[in-house]
């Protein structure tokens, strides 16, 4: 099998199917998956890649739970994973982040997921699917995929550090409060995740050259170490994915605002910041 690109257009994948040694993981809603999915895909409930509990539900699950999930799906060390969802890449991007965390770097994202696949009129399978299980073992968690709260605090104000806040503008300014405190991390740049999707093209990622220029104008580019977050590192799964596609040095701040905004000792800014 030839190496598959990180960003895989639906039509490209359709022309290649069926593929050996490939696992297509679809994180659409269960009913969406049953109605129609990419041929050969298996379904994954996105909750399985979140650590349960409050007030910080966005953290990576324990290693034993991750091994159970990926074994159920049939992952092996040599498998190339193709990620898809029904929302333009949030859950698929979080899956890619999780794969980076466990050191499994063979993966692609179907641009636009099942929304773009259906828009293109490509073949679908229906019904539930029982994966062929494996026995997947994780040897270590890669710390280079994630920023911790302590690391974000340590890097605040450094010229080579940037924060991409994927939440809504109202959450960023503090107008909408979900945690104990509203607002944003000092110096963070707000670009809400769905603004990066082309709604006329099946939620595909916006033109990459234009997207790169836009982000650069916001201070997010290949010269920076970038932390991205939202409330629970779901929406920022998308921004993590975009950063990977653009070749940025990006990590997920998995604690996100659920951790930062609920800690009375972390600095918070309300309103907008000057560019």
**DSSP letter, residue 103:** T
Give the list of residues 6+ apart from residue 210 with CB closer than 8 angstroms, or none.
Answer: none
Using alpha carbons, select from 71, 149, 142 the residue that is nearest to residue 102. Answer: 142
Rounded-to-integer distance, Cα 87 and Cα 205, Å = 11
Nearest to 156 by CA among 98, 225, 233: 225
Q: Are strands 161-165 and 189-190 parallel, antiparallel or unpaired?
A: parallel
For tokens 């990977």, what's the residue?
244
Question: What residues are paired with 37 via a beta bridge?
Answer: 125
CA dist., res. 271 & res. 84, Å (int): 35
Q: Could you say which of 4, 23, 185, 230 is catalytic? A: 230
Task: Say whether 83 is catalytic.
Answer: no
Q: Is residue 149 within 8 Å of 143, Cβ to Cβ?
A: no
183 token code pair: 């607002």
Report which of 241, 202, 206, 225 is spatially closest to residue 89, judged by C-alpha positions: 241
Any residues with CB less than 8 A from the CB of 159 and at least 6 apart, and which? none
* Bridging pattern class, strands 249-252 and 225-229: parallel
Helices (H), the chain: 10-16, 30-35, 63-73, 90-101, 113-119, 149-155, 169-173, 208-217, 235-245, 256-260
| Residues designated catalytic | 230
């Amino acid at each position: 099998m030839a190496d598959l690109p990180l960003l895989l257009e639906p039509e490209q994948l359709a022309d290649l199917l069926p593929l050996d040694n490939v696992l297509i993981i679809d994180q659409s809603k269960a009913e969406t998956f049953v109605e129609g999915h990419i041929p050969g895909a298996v379904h994954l409930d996105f909750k399985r890649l979140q650590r349960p509990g409050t007030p910080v539900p966005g953290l990576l699950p324990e290693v034993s739970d991750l091994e159970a999930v990926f074994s159920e799906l049939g992952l092996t060390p040599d498998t190339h994973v193709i990620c898809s969802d029904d929302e333009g890449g949030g859950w698929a991007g979080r899956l890619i982040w999780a794969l980076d965390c466990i050191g499994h770097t063979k993966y692609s994202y179907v641009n636009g997921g099942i929304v773009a696949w259906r828009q293109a009129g490509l073949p679908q399978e229906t019904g539930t699917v029982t994966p062929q299980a494996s026995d997947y073992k994780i040897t270590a968690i890669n710390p280079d995929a994630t920023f911790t709260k302590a690391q974000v605090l340590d890097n605040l104000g450094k010229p080579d550090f940037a924060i991409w806040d994927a939440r809504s503008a109202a959450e960023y300014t503090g107008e909408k409060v979900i945690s104990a405190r509203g607002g944003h991390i000092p110096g963070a740049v707000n670009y809400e995740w769905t603004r990066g999707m082309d709604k006329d093209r099946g939620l595909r990622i916006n033109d990459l050259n234009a997207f790169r220029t836009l982000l650069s104008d916001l201070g997010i580019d290949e010269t920076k170490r970038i932390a991205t977050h939202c409330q629970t590192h779901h929406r920022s799964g998308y921004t993590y994915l975009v950063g990977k596609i653009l070749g940025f040095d990006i990590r997920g701040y998995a604690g996100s605002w659920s951790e930062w905004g609920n800690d009375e000792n972390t600095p918070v800014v309300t309103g907008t910041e000057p560019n």
